[in-house]
Amino acid sequence: MTAGPGTVPVPPSVAAPRGGGRHGSLWWLVVPALVFFVTFGVVPLLGVLGLSFANWNGIGAITPGGLGAWRQVLGDPGLLHSLWVTFEIMAISWAVQTPASILLGTFLAGPQRYRGFLAVLYVLPLLLSSAALAVTWKALLDPNFGLGAGLKIPLLSQNWLGEGGLAVGVVIFIVSWQFVPFHALIYQGGVRQIPRSLYEAAEIDGAGRIRQFFSLTLPQLKYTIITSSTLMVVGSLTFFDLIFVLTAGGPGDATRVLAVEMYQTGFLGNQMGPASAIAVIIVLSGLVIAQLLRRLGGRDASASQLEGM
Amino acid sequence: MDPQTQHRQTATRRAVLGLAAGLPLIGGLAACGSSGPGASSSSGGGGGSGTGASFWSLSGQPQEDIRKQSVEQYNAANPNEKVTLTLFQNDAYKQKVKTALGAGQAPTILWGWGGGGLKSWVDAGQVDDLTDFFSQNAALKDRIFPSSFGAATVDGKVYALPCETVTPIVLYWNKKVFDKVGAQPPQSWGDILDLVPKFNAAGIAPFSLGGQSRWTNMMWLEFLFDRIGGPEVFQAVFDGEKDAWSNPAAIQALTEMQKLIKANGFVKGFASITADSNADQALLYTGKAAMMVHGAWTYGGMKNDGGDFVSSGGLGYMNFPGVDGGKGDPSDSVGNPAQYLSISSKASADEKKAAMDFLAKSQFTDEMLKAWIGSGNIPVVQGSDSLIGGDDADWLKFQYDIASNAKTFAQSWDQALPPTQAEVLLDNIAKLFQLSISPEQFASNLNAVIGT
C-alpha cells in the first residue's frame, strides 16, 4: 500500500487518483526512451513511407509521385530476385549458424579453463568491422594473388566471387564465421542457466551425454533459440556492409540482397522514391518475420520451463 | 593519378561510406534533410557575407596540391575576392554535394565529372548556364580541347568549364611477355582474337581485367561500339532514341565481346578481381597477363608498384585498334575528357561574379599547366605538349596525341548517362560478361530504361 501520512484508511474513491498518479510517474520513466525512439525510429520511418509516394532524385524538389514508385518497384523482376536472394541467404545462414552456435555454446558453457580461453579466441571475428572483414576476405579470395595462389593450393584458387553460386556460398560462410561466436555466447549463457539438478536427475535415470543434450539441453534452450534466431533472421534482412564491400551485389545480381538493391536504387540510381518503397518492404518483412518467430515460441512466453523445480 | 582513379580506386572506401549512407536509409531518408546544416557549417565561407566565393573540390594527391595552388595564386592576385577551397575525399564528396544541393547549401563553385551527373544538377536548376561566360571569354574557350566540351553541354548549353586533365583509356601490353611468346602487338580486332589462343597455349592470360568493378568491362564495350559502329551508336543512346541499343552495330559489338570471353580472352576468375585493389595492373606487370585495356591513370600505379617494369621499357601502349570493316575511326578515344567546374545558381550575384572571375583566370596559367604535366597528366589545353619533358615524355606525348587527334573523345558511359541508367547499364554489363544474358537480352534490358 501507499505510505500516506497518518494511519487513517484511505477511502477507495481517493485512492484511485493517487493510483493514477503513481502510474503517471511510471509513465514518465518511459519518456526519454520514447522520445529517442520516436525521433530516430518512427519519424524517419514515416518520412520514408511518405517518400515512397514521391518523386525525388536526392537534389531536386520533392514532388508527389502517387503510386509510381511502388508500381515501379513491385513490377521490377529485380525486386523478386532480391527478395529471393535475401531469404536464401537468411535461411541457409540460419541453418548453418544455429547448430554450430548451439554446439559451440554448449561446449563453452563447461567450467573448464581452456574453454574460457577458447571463448576469448572465438569472439575475435566479432571485434572486427564487417567492412574490414570484407576487404580482408576479398584479398584472401583473389584467384591470382590470394590464399590459393600464395599457398599453391589450386583448390583454393576458385572464381570465388565471380560465380553466382560460389559467391552466395562465400557470403554465407563469412556471415557465419563472423556471427557464430556471437550466438555461441548467447547459447553459452542459456546453457549455464539450466539447473544442474536436471542433469543430475538425468544421469540417475541413465541418460548419456548425447541423450542429455537432445532431451534436456535443447528443450531448455527453446527460448534462447528463438531469441537468437530472431536476431539472425532480422539481422540478415538488413545485411548490407559485408555484401556491399565483398561483392557489391555481384556477380551480376547474384548476391544483391534487398538492402543492397535499396542502396543502389537510392544512392547510385538517384531514385529515392523507389528506394524508400524497398525500405518499407524491408521493414514490413522484418516485422512479419519477427512476429512469426514469436508465435513459434508459443503464446505463453511467460510460462516456466522449470515447473516443479 | 587521375581524379577518376581516386573515384575508382576507392570503391572500398565507398563501401565503407555505404555503411554510413545506406543503413540509415532503413531508418529514414528524412535524416538526409538534417545533414544539410552540417554541410553548410563545413563549407567555410560558403554562406559568408562580403565578396568572394566558396569552392568544393576533391582531396587526394597529387591533384590536391595543384588545386590548392590554383586557389592560392588566385587569392594572392585578387585579395578582395578570395576563393575559399574545401576539399573532400572522393566518395564523401559525391554524397556531400548531393546533400548540400538538396538543402540549398551548395558552395559557389562545384567541381564535377560532367555528363549525366552534371545533367542531373542542370535538371534540378542548381547550376548556371555558362554560355555567356564563354562568349565573353572566347580566348579561354579556344585554348581548351573542343572534345572536352561535350560532357559540359546539356541541351546545347554549356554549364561547366572543362579543366584539369584529359585521361584516355588505352591498350597496354607487356613487351617482355610478347617477346617470350614471339607475338606482335595487335593491329586490329582480328589480331586480338588470333593472339588469344597463342597466349593461352603459353599459360599466360591474354587480357587482364578487374571484372568485379563492372566499369572495367564497360571500357571494352565503349571501344567496340565506337570501332564497329562509330560514335553515333552510343550518341543515340545518350540522346534517348528509342531502341538505340538494338542497333545492328551494337549487337555485333556485344557479340564480338562475348566471342572474346568465350575464347578465354580474359584472365581466369576475372569476375572476382577488382580494379580498386590494382590486382588487374599487377597481373600485367608480373607477366601473368599479356595485355590490358585500362585508363591512362594506371600508368602511375604500374610505375610505382611494378618494380622496373615501366622504367626498363617493359610497358607498351597503344590506342585500341580498329575492327575490320568497322565504321568507327581508330583514332577516336574514350575516357575522361576533362574535369568540370560549375557555378551554383543559388549563389549571390557577388559570389557568382567572383566565381566567374576565378574560372576565367585561375585554371590555365602556365604554373598550373606545368604542375599538371609534372603530375603525369595532360591538361585539357591545346599546345600543352610544348611543356612535356622528363622521364615520362614519351608517355605524355602519346596521351597528348590521342587527346588532340581524336575526332571523338567520348566520355565514359557511366559518367555520361544519368545515374539511373548508368546503374542498369553496369548491371547488365556484368551479366553480359558472365555470359548469363545474350546480346539481344542486353539490348532489350537497356532499351527499357532509355530516356529515364
pLDDT at B8 over 90: no
For B341, residues 6+ apart whose C-beta sits below 8 A from its C-beta are B109, B110, B111, B112, B160, B161, B163, B359, B363
Task: Please give the residue that has the higher pLDDT: either A268 or A97.
Answer: A97
What angle, 0 to 180 degrees and rounded to 10, lies between the N-to-C axes of helices B248-262 and B215-229?
A: 130
Query: Among B418, B422, B427, whose Cβ lies nearest the Cβ of A253?
Result: B427
- Cell 570503391 maps to which residue? B11
Q: Where residue A17 falls among pLDDT bands split at 50, 70, 90?
A: very low
Written as nine digits, the cell of B442 is: 542486353
What angle, 0 to 180 degrees and rounded to 10, lies between the N-to-C axes of helices A77-109 and A164-193?
A: 40
Please give the pLDDT value at position B279: 87
pLDDT at B41 over 50: no
State pLDDT tens for residues B288-325.
999 999 999 888 888 888 889 988 989 999 999 999 99
Q: Is residue A236 part of a domain?
A: yes
Closest chain A residue to the Cα of B105, Cα to Cα? A59
Which range scores top for mean pLDDT: A127-141, A204-218, A257-271, B222-236?
Answer: B222-236
Average pLDDT score over residue span B168-190: 94
Written as nine digits, the cell of A118 is: 577458447
CA distance B49 to A76: 49
The verdict on a CB contact (< 8 Å) between B25 and A262 is: yes
Give the H/E segment covering residue B18. Answer: helix B11-27
pLDDT at B17 over 80: no
Q: Where residue A276 falls among pLDDT bands split at 50, 70, 90?
A: very high
Which range scores top for mean pLDDT: A69-78, B38-47, B90-99?
Answer: A69-78
State pLDDT tens for residues B219-252.
999 999 999 999 999 999 988 889 999 999 999 9
Q: Is residue A73 part of a domain?
A: no
Q: Which residues of A17-38 are buried (b: 16+ CB within 10 A; e: fewer)?
A: eeeeeeeeeeeeeeeeeeeeee
Average pLDDT score over residue span A247-259: 86
Q: Quick one: how far is CA B39 from the chain centroid?
A: 26
State pLDDT tens for residues B50-62.
568 999 998 877 7
Q: How many CA atoms lie within 13 A of B144 on its CB side?
A: 27
Q: Where residue A270 falls among pLDDT bands split at 50, 70, 90?
A: confident
Cβ–Cβ contact B416 with A under 8 A: no
Closest chain B residue to the Cα of A45, Cα to Cα? B28
Written as nine digits, the cell of B103 is: 538543402
Please give the pLDDT value at position A308: 54
Q: Give the domain ranges of chain B.
A: 3-164+338-364, 168-335+413-447
Q: Where residue B6 falls among pLDDT bands split at 50, 70, 90?
A: very low
Where do the H-state alpha helices sit in B78-114?
90-102
State pLDDT tens for residues A61-81.
788 888 888 988 888 888 899
pLDDT at B102 over 60: yes
Q: Is residue A257 part of a domain?
A: yes
Residues of chain B in contact with residue A138, where contact means CB-CB under 8 angstroms, are 274, 277
Average pLDDT score over residue span A96-108: 92
pTM assigned to the model: 0.79
Q: Where residue B24 falls among pLDDT bands split at 50, 70, 90?
A: very low
The verdict on a CB contact (< 8 Å) between B269 and A275 is: no
Please give the pLDDT value at position A1: 36
Closest chain B residue to the Cα of A37, Cα to Cα? B27
Q: ∠ CA A272-B158-B446 to the nearest 5 degrees?
A: 45
Q: Where residue B276 falls among pLDDT bands split at 50, 70, 90?
A: confident
| Contact between B244 and B211 (Cβ < 8 Å) | no
Please give the pLDDT value at position B21: 39
Strand pairing of B289-295 and B205-208? parallel
Residue A219: burial class (beta carbons within 10 Å; 0-12, 13-18, 19+): exposed
Please give the pLDDT value at position A306: 60
Written as nine digits, the cell of B272 is: 572476382
The whole-chain average pLDDT of chain A stands at 83
Q: Is residue A25 part of a domain?
A: no
Average pLDDT score over residue span B26-55: 45
The interface residues of chain A toward chain B in range 41-80, judged by CB-CB distance below 8 A, are 41, 43-48, 51, 57-61
The whole-chain average pLDDT of chain B stands at 84
| Contact between A249 and A255 (Cβ < 8 Å) | yes
Q: Where residue A4 falls among pLDDT bands split at 50, 70, 90?
A: very low
The verdict on a CB contact (< 8 Å) between A275 and B30 is: no
What's the start-to-end Cα distance of chain B, in Å? 33
Closest chain A residue to the Cα of B33, Cα to Cα? A58
Of A125-134, A167-176, A291-300, B45-54, which gets the smallest average pLDDT?
A: B45-54
Average pLDDT score over residue span A158-166: 85
Average pLDDT score over residue span A120-125: 84
Could you confirm whether domain B168-335+413-447 is CATH 3.40.190.10?
yes
State pLDDT tens for residues B140-177.
999 998 888 988 998 889 999 999 999 999 999 999 99
| Structure ipTM | 0.73
Please give the pLDDT value at position A43: 93
Please give the pLDDT value at position B101: 86
Average pLDDT score over residue span A18-40: 76
CA distance B328 to B102: 41
Of B10-19, B252-261, B418-427, which gets the smallest average pLDDT?
A: B10-19
pLDDT at B435 over 50: yes
Strand pairing of B333-336 and B165-174? antiparallel
Q: Is residue A54 part of a domain?
A: no
Cβ–Cβ contact A86 with B under 8 A: no
Task: Please give the residue that has the higher pLDDT: either B181 or A302.
Answer: B181
| Contact between A164 and A84 (Cβ < 8 Å) | no
Dump strand ranges (E) for B302-432.
Answer: 315-318, 333-336, 339-343, 378-379, 409-411
pLDDT at B358 over 50: yes
For chain B, give the percent of residues with pLDDT over 90: 49
Q: Is residue A68 part of a domain?
A: no
For A81, residues 6+ apart whose C-beta sits below 8 A from its C-beta are A253, A256
Residue A237, domain CATH: 1.10.3720.10
Most B CBs within 10 Å: which of A59, A128, A240, as the mutation test of the B interface?
A59
Written as nine digits, the cell of A255 is: 548476391
- Cell 601502349 maps to which residue? B317
The verdict on a CB contact (< 8 Å) between B420 and A247 is: no
| CATH fourth-level superfamily of B3-164+338-364 | Periplasmic binding protein-like II (3.40.190.10)
**Residues B209, B212, B213, B216, CA torsion sign:** positive
State pLDDT tens for residues A188-202.
999 998 988 888 898
Cβ–Cβ contact A250 with B under 8 A: yes
| Contact between B372 and B66 (Cβ < 8 Å) | yes
Domain that holds residue A99: 78-267+284-296
Q: Quick one: how far is CA B310 from the chain centroid?
A: 23
Q: Is residue A52 part of a domain?
A: no
Average pLDDT score over residue span B264-282: 88
Q: Give the SS3 label for residue B211.
A: helix
